[in-house]
Amino acid sequence: MFIPEKSKQKVFLCKSGGWTCVVQAEDWADAASKAVTEALMYFVEKDQDNFVVGSVILCQEIVEDLESCTFFYTPAVLADAGFHDLAKDLTVTNE
């Protein structure tokens, strides 16, 4: 999921009946609707007849909290993902 910087939509973590889904929505009710739709489509597409939805759908807004973040050095991540040339281009050298 990619979210443009100026997006007015929020990101929600939704759970129910043993499944978890992350959706982009305007509010909690919209998030619940999108999550149950996405979950249903996932289980139907996988042809799994064990889809369960509980009596409630938990929706929690995911908010940015820089104090609890883990930061990664971009060149290291790029190299780990196999993009060695890009990683090398971003690496600062003391020459």
Per-residue pLDDT of the chain in tens (95 residues, 90 and over written 9): 777 777 778 999 999 988 999 999 999 999 999 999 998 888 887 777 777 888 899 999 998 888 888 889 999 999 999 999 999 888 876 45
- Give the Cβ contact number of residue 85 at 10 Å: 9
User: What whole-number distance in Å separates Cα of residue 14 and Cα of residue 59?
Assistant: 4
| Residue 10: other Cβ atoms inside 10 A | 17
Q: The whole model's pTM is what?
A: 0.71
Sequence-distant (6+) residues with CB within 8 A of 49 are 43
